[in-house]
Amino acid sequence: MLASHAQKYGILIALIVACIFLTFANEYFLTGRNILNVLRQTSINGILAIGMTFVILTRGIDLSVGSIVALAGVVSASLATTSSAAMVAGGPYPVAIAFGAGLAVGMACGAVSGFVVARFNVPAFVATLGMLSAARGLTLIYAGGKPVPNLTDAYRWIGTADLAGIPMPVVAFAVIFLAATWVLTSTRFGRHVYAAGGNPHAAKVSGINVPRIRLLVYVISGGMAGFAGMMLAARTGSALTQAGIAYELDAIAAVVIGGTSLAGGIGRVTGTVIGALLIGVMNNGLDLMGVESYYQQVIKGGLIVAAVMLDQARHKQA
């Protein structure tokens, strides 16, 4: 009984222990301003990780989300900039058009990856690695290697505004979390995602269109990456062509640390969010303690390996 509870709530316990330790280690950690800062910083990775959860539940992986962040960001920002050198003719356009374009770009990239995986049975690692390179190249071509600055106030609202004192990126993260949780736990599509990842052959025999499910989860992941890219551009005030580099690593780490199995069919969005928060707390706490980013990468890598080893141990016991 104790072991099962430790497995179920281990990540939450780890988050609580980390917060307690950092509270005593640094006087600035447990302050309202810093907690909001942690949540704001976590929101981007959290949104990417939620999209990644759908993919990993079907035994896939999406290495392209970081590049999609950059591509969707520059395309969307080019429609909402006041810079004559960066805007699309006739701009700036209404913010709804800019956001729609960014989401469309992200979902289109995800659809391409998903089609290659689902239709041709190309390993997800290979298909999304190709999209990682292609999307980054398209970003540089589209923007001419230059940032897209001077975004309109209406566009920046999603990244800089507050709602009852809570930053809009945090609000958006919370809404996406609730929506994803509902989809996976209360809809037919969510049940099919788990079935397609848990036992693809049995799911196919039972009438589930497994290739369609695989395609759609990559579309969801791409859409989340597109939204995250626009939110990042809105926060910083400009869209950078180098944005999103290595973001896929943090997203995968959050999902795996949160208990979603790489073997598919097992996992919860709640665990993913806690995993993202643990990474955000760790990054913030180590920054406050003056630990260099190089060491942070080593620690994060160790967490990923430990989480995968724990996942394999659970499967052996099962």
Model pTM? 0.95
pLDDT in tens, the chain (318 residues): 544 555 567 888 889 999 999 999 999 999 999 999 999 999 999 999 999 999 999 999 999 999 999 999 999 999 999 999 999 988 899 999 999 999 999 999 999 999 999 999 999 999 999 999 999 999 999 999 999 999 999 999 999 999 999 999 999 999 999 999 999 999 999 999 999 999 999 999 999 999 999 999 999 999 999 999 999 999 999 999 999 999 999 999 999 999 999 999 999 999 999 999 999 999 999 899 988 888 888 887 887 788 778 777 766 665
Bridge-partner residues for 70, per DSSP?
none
| Per-residue buried b or exposed e for 148-180, using 16+ beta carbons within 10 Å of the residue's own CB | bbbbbeebbebbeeeeeeebbbbbbbeebbeeb
- Judging by beta carbons within 10 Å of its beta carbon (0-12, 13-18, 19+), is residue 291 exposed, middle or buried? middle
- Tokens for 26, please give them: 């640094």
Q: Read out DSSP for 235-261?
A: HHTSB-TTTTTTHHHHHHHHHHHTT--
